[in-house]
Homo-oligomer: A and B are copies of this chain.
Amino acid sequence: MNVEVVAIGTELLLGQIVDTNSSWIGQELAAAGLNSHYQTKVGDNPDRIRSVLRQALERSDAVICCGGLGPTQDDITRDMIAEMMGVELEFQADIADRIRAMFETRGREMPEINLRQAMLPVGATTIAEQPGTAPGLRCPVRAADGSERLLYAVPGVPYEMKEMMTGSVIPELRRLSGDESVIKSRVIRTWGASESGLAEILADRIDDLDAAGNPTLAFLASGVEGLKVRITAKAADEAAVVAMLDAELQNLEPLIGHVIFGFDDDNMEAVVIKTLAEANLTLAVAESVTGGYVAGRLCAVPGASKVFRGGVVAYHPEVKFDVLDVPEGPVVTEEAAGAMAEGVRVKLGADIGIATTGVAGPEESEGKKVGTVCVAVARREGVRTTTLTLPGDRERIRQYSAISLLDMLRREIVG
């Protein structure tokens, strides 16, 4: 089943907003086993929307139209769809009531203009989910060859669009595709291996899987955050697909277990917080080169307060000496990193202290090259330090330092 995505909005063409919606929809379609061969962006212009929709309806079985469902005069998706269907727009009182009620719960009166969102092409139905004021539309359209195509219209607001896609559109498309099997993916989060390195380790396994066709493996890059390995499997029912995913995970574990830090929606900081909580350990952070970035990531994890005591951003050398009791001297050294980690551990009353100190640029410091970063993990039992040589600009060096340190900490705890 071929499904095509059309994103509507002049702001997308002008690059004022990056069209992440189409990318997300493409990902979901692929995960559901549905083909998506084209994605088009078009502005708020009737002639051009008309020509893009007409072409999409000719060459695809279903079209997902994203954006242009707002209340203003610019929002002409409803009108264009009615034209494609060869019908008029019709006011639907129940939809107007629903929109009015939404405004009322926020203590506001509905502006008259929002009544435009209650105008539906005759023959269209609304998508069950409606988290915002714009109803999503499901519109059967007759193609030139007489066959019926499905056109869905969803709002451009990402969370509204996602709720409708996940709740209604993707499930219906899968049903229509006649494919009643269940497709599921698991994502393995790795850190510390290059793409070519992982590909080499997994080459034989990938060949075997390619030959069988199910499950499949894919590598997804995620910048300094490491590589994701996605396993996708298809089976007759939920239990069978979960069993396949588990079995494949067991196949991969002996090969790449040493670089796996988490699964699916895990990120490094969430894994670190969880690992610390399970070990009943508290943490404090001393940062120079990362300047608060490591602490900021850890605090972003809900529930961080159970294990995270706090940190010291010891940016100026004097702060290292005065607040963290680092011995005076050069500060881009493993000794200084170790002293910072131990200093913050003791000062903030934590079980573990971690630290970064280094040169993010633009200039060298203490004769050390840009990209030289010393990191440390201090526990009651002792201090472990290492020196990293990192590529990239200031921002990248900070990010690499942070994730390197967090992974070092994780390995320290899991042993």
A257 at interface (Cβ–Cβ under 8 A)? no
Residue pair B43, A300 in contact (C-beta under 8 Å): no
Which among A26, A28, A291, A348 has the highest number of chain B CB atoms within 10 Å?
A291
Residue pair B40, A14 in contact (C-beta under 8 Å): no
Contact code string A302-344 (vs B, CB < 8 Å = 1, else 0): 1011001111111110110011000000000000000000000
Closest residue of chain B to A40 (Cβ to Cβ) is: B40
A36 at interface (Cβ–Cβ under 8 A)? yes
For window 270-320 of chain A, which residues contact chain B by CB distance below 8 Å? 285, 287, 290-296, 298-300, 302, 304-305, 308-316, 318-319
A19 at interface (Cβ–Cβ under 8 A)? yes
Given contacts A15-B27, A36-B13, A37-B42, whether A313 and B293 have CB atoms under 8 Å apart is no
A99 CB → nearest B CB, Å? 19
Closest residue of chain B to A365 (Cβ to Cβ) is: B305
A206 at interface (Cβ–Cβ under 8 A)? no
Q: How far is the CA of A77 from the CA of B178 in the complex (A)?
A: 35
A178 CB → nearest B CB, Å? 22
A413 at interface (Cβ–Cβ under 8 A)? no
A347 at interface (Cβ–Cβ under 8 A)? yes
Residue pair B38, A39 in contact (C-beta under 8 Å): no
Contact code string A352-375 (vs B, CB < 8 Å = 1, else 0): 000000000110000000000000
Q: B45, B298, B315, B395: which contacts A304 (Cβ < 8 A)? A: B315
A170 at interface (Cβ–Cβ under 8 A)? no
Q: Which residues of B contact A105 (CB under 8 A)?
A: none
For window 177-207 of chain A, which residues contact chain B by CB distance below 8 Å? none
A41 at interface (Cβ–Cβ under 8 A)? yes
A188 CB → nearest B CB, Å? 15
Q: How far is the CA of A328 from the CA of B253 in the complex (A)?
A: 49
Q: Which residues of B contact A48 (CB under 8 A)?
A: 37-38
Which among A299, A304, A322 has the highest number of chain B CB atoms within 10 Å?
A299
Q: How far is the CA of A352 from the CA of B312 in the complex (A)?
A: 17
A220 at interface (Cβ–Cβ under 8 A)? yes
A122 CB → nearest B CB, Å? 29
Residue pair A41, B12 in contact (C-beta under 8 Å): no
Identical copies of this chain, number: 2
Given contacts A20-B18, A45-B37, whether A312 and B310 have CB atoms under 8 Å apart is yes
Q: How far is the CA of A361 from the CA of B304 in the complex (A)?
A: 11
Residue pair B15, A395 in contact (C-beta under 8 Å): no
Q: B18, B37, B42, B299: which contacts A315 (Cβ < 8 A)? A: B299
Contact code string A211-248 (vs B, CB < 8 Å = 1, else 0): 00000001011000000000000000000000000000
Q: Which residues of B contact A349 (CB under 8 A)?
A: 318-319, 322
Q: B39, B291, B314, B348: which contacts A13 (Cβ < 8 A)? A: B39
Q: How far is the CA of A30 from the CA of B15 in the complex (A)?
A: 9
Q: Which residues of B contact A319 (CB under 8 A)?
A: 309-310, 348-349
A23 at interface (Cβ–Cβ under 8 A)? yes
The 22 listed contacts between A and B (C-beta, < 8 Å) are A13-B30, A13-B38, A13-B39, A18-B18, A18-B23, A38-B48, A285-B292, A291-B295, A291-B298, A291-B299, A291-B308, A293-B296, A295-B296, A295-B315, A299-B313, A302-B361, A308-B315, A308-B316, A309-B318, A309-B319, A312-B313, A323-B347
- With A18-B23, A37-B43, A291-B299 known, 6 other A-B pairs at CB within 8 A are A13-B26, A37-B42, A37-B45, A285-B292, A300-B398, A310-B313
Residues of A within 8 A of B (CB): 12-20, 22-28, 30, 36-43, 45, 48, 52, 55, 218, 220-221, 285, 287, 290-296, 298-300, 302, 304-305, 308-316, 318-319, 322-323, 347-349, 361-362, 394-395, 398
